[in-house]
Structure 1
């Protein structure tokens, strides 16, 4: 993909550890469904979320002010493993729970000013396999997708957020629940 830096580790976590983490996080995280504004209407966000951060850090996107929880030992462990692989330090984790194929995340770029000029986004997938799609912001013919595997790690870095959008679309396929842990550095 031109103007994109991606690294994909399909077996970042072994199946046993990925299964354990999926079940534990599914049960123990305080999942919330917040309302977002879309075309002037307030609607429930099409997924459940939780936000973890170091003390004193908050995050706002799409008009949502996220209140952080402290890192659980499991998420802190994953953060440290992700830092070792990426060579980058993170101070937040946005967790998303996609309950079924109706839950989704629309086209966007992680290009908020608080993420810095060329943000590094590290995303761990647990649970059901889902199609993660990319499209170039100006060349509409450039489209890609990747099937995010259970226990995988996807890293987006460099100038990618300037040129590409990404989404996790709805699907009519029968898919299992999926947890996504997205590590970021908020400045």
Structure 2
């Protein structure tokens, strides 16, 4: 068994900590309950999208992992002041656990796109939308169907309203991230 040591510089640790704080701050805004599904509309998933875009696959995933670790420990960092394993394993758990993969998938897809010179604004949006919205909603629907003891199609159909909001959040995430990439930070 090969053990790989993960070593982060002070700059990388600071950036990860700042992203965890941003995701937590986005959770201060309470979720908007829809009433017919136990999953509220939240702004926090935009922070997950930004983590993958801005920090890349490694640091973005570390930031989301650290955030979810704090949530699992009981810190009330999720939208509406929720936290703990009960929340992670409840009806919204599929969406929340899928967040672990979003920065990795967004970051790797963007890296591949940049390698081939195909990442323009629209390409970046499509990558963020695919992994940050469609992937999360699909996996979340599978989890939700299992939790509610229903079939996949009704659970997926209930997510249709979220896709519109997640599309707006993906547009905002790309706009914010593209502006932040141009800011020079002394290291």
Give the TM bin, normalised by the shorter chain.
under 0.3
Which structure has more RCO (C-alpha within 8 Å, separation ≥ 6)? Answer: 1
Greater fraction strand: 1
Structure showing greater radius of gyration is 2
TM-score if structure 1 supplies the norm length?
A: 0.27
